[in-house]
Amino acid sequence: MMTTSNSDSPSSPNNEESTEETKQERAAIEEKIVNEEYKIWKKNSPFLYDLVITHALEWPTLTCQWFQDIEKPEGKDYTIQRLLIGTHTSDNDQNYVEIANVQLPKSDSDIDPRKYEEEKAEAGAHGESRITVVQRINHDGEVNRARYMPQDQNIIATKTVTGDVYIFDLTKHPSRPLAEGVCNPELKLRGHTKEGYGLSWSPFDKGHILDASEDTTICHWNINGNTRETRTMEPFRVYRGHEAIVEDVAWHTKDPHIFGSVGDDQKLLIWDVRPDRADKPVHSIIAHQSEVNSLAFNPHNDFILATGAGDKTLSLWDLRNLKIKLHTLEQHTGEIVQVEWSPHDETILASAAGDRRVNIWDLSRIGSEQTAEDAEDGPPELLFMHGGHTNKISDFSWNPHLPWVVASAAEDNIIQVWQPAANIYTIDEREIPADELED
């Protein structure tokens, strides 16, 4: 009779210790790789960027969004713009919704875009370039997502860990919060049993907001005219069509009745909110071979949208024929967590992923000729890869006033404001000799 010693047992202490040691070794190797990549990025930054501002937050933020306003102080060579961010603290530390001022050099200033500060990892910046938190509002738990109402930027919606959506009016809160840590939103939107991340204000109907949840539903509220003393509101409609977690939701940018949603059931659903059509999605397709994490409608085009997924790919779709995928964008090495179109150019799209990268794509270059050497760096439509973060990207936002300027936040507590060098996105099309083309 053969016996097996405890040392050979899968659950033995020795095997558990070995597994833990292996995990630690892998983590150490990964950390070394990340650090080496970051050193290379810092070394090359002066040649790749016209602007890089790096700011270390006290706590990481899971969300960031540029406000629409811009201030131009008289006699200064910089402008001031605002960012909406939040906190994700540890233990029992207080969480906040935060408004940050960002000082950016004017495009006509005399700042040398090749000036680079090694210690701060900043390029094209100057002594005035910085990010400063100017308002802080108490929040219950971390801020999963925060977005302002497009018709009134003082109205902020946040996704909470309880599943509720909080509504804050910035004008009714001081710049510094109450010391006792009481969270006092103007309104609490109820309707979910679990948390989520997807959040979208209607660009057409003031006060209408959608959110996505892990409970597989989408809630739709209209916060206009709320006078309830309890300051809570139930949704006027709940959309049920997904069979798993709903990861993201977005209103159409051209049609006030249409929105889309994506989820862990691999599906992209298109909805029509008109009463006679709202009981089920008008379109339902399997969009990816894994969970779908993000979607965005093109603000310049009535029909085009993009989705990003855990399969590390981006997909482009035409609403007129969702049976056929227009194109697949591939280069990320981690699951894609967000996709957003440029507000300035119909063909420019950005994506963020778990590989610590924000990629910028130019769809007008799809199918362009490439040399074999260029093809090794990625497909022709891959315009730029931002590699300034050392941890997973949480959120990013295109600047509404400055083309090619992006703010990105990561789990390493770092928020960066950056702009690729102009020669990267203004290269004239050139004829490539036949002997240089990729076979």
Residue 218 structural domain = 22-109+122-422
Asked if the structure places residue 17 within a domain, the reply is no
Cβ atoms of residues 122 and 130 within 8 Å: no
As a whole number of angstroms, the distance between CA 194 and CA 183 comes to 20
Q: Does residue 375 lie in a domain region? A: yes
Q: Is residue 418 part of a domain?
A: yes
Q: Long-range contacts made by residues 278-287, C-beta under 8 angstroms, separation at least 24?
A: 278/237, 278/239, 280/241, 281/239, 281/241, 283/319, 283/322, 284/241, 285/322, 285/323, 287/262, 287/315, 287/317, 287/325
d(CA 16, CA 333): 29
- Residue 238 falls within a domain, yes or no? yes
CA distances to 98, 125, 185, 253, 284 from 102, in Å: 13, 12, 25, 27, 41
Question: Which of 41, 44, 39 lies closest to 114, judged by CA?
Answer: 44
Whether residue 182 is contained in a domain is answered as yes
CATH number at residue 91: 2.130.10.10
Tell whether 14 is covered by a domain: no
In DSSP notation, 122-168 reads EES--TT--EEEEEEEEESS--SEEEEETTEEEEEEEE-TTS-EEEE
pLDDT tens for the 439 residues of the chain, in order: 444 444 444 556 666 667 777 878 887 888 888 889 899 999 999 999 999 999 999 999 999 999 999 999 999 989 999 999 999 998 789 999 999 999 999 876 555 545 545 545 565 554 445 899 999 999 999 999 999 999 999 999 999 999 999 999 999 999 999 888 899 999 999 999 999 999 999 999 999 999 999 999 999 999 997 666 789 999 999 999 999 999 999 999 999 999 999 999 999 999 999 999 999 999 999 999 999 999 999 999 999 999 999 999 999 999 999 999 999 999 999 999 999 999 999 999 999 999 999 999 999 999 998 888 888 889 999 999 999 999 999 999 999 999 999 999 999 999 999 999 999 998 644 444 455 545 4
Distance CA 209, CA 165 (A): 10
Question: Residue 362 is inside which H or E element, if any?
Answer: strand 358-362
How far, in Å, CA of 143 to CA of 242, rounded? 24
**CA geometry: angle at 63 spanning 124 and 300, to 5°?**
75
Q: Which two tokens stand for residue 172?
A: 């009714």
Is the pTM of the predicted complex or chain greater than 0.85?
Answer: yes
User: Is there a contact between 68 and 400 (Cβ–Cβ < 8 Å)?
Assistant: yes
Q: How far apart are CA 163 and CA 357, in angstroms?
A: 29
**Terminus-to-terminus CA distance in the chain, angstroms?**
63
- Establish if 167 belongs to a structural domain: yes
The answer to whether 303 touches 309, Cβ cutoff 8 Å, is no
CA distances from 224 to 184, 278, 377 (A): 19, 21, 50
Rounded Cα distance between 199 and 273, Å, is: 16
Contact 352, 395 (CB under 8 A): yes
Cα separation, 319 vs 317, in Å, equals 6
Q: Would you say residue 355 lies in a domain? A: yes
Three-class SS of residue 413?
A: coil
Number of domains in the chain: 1
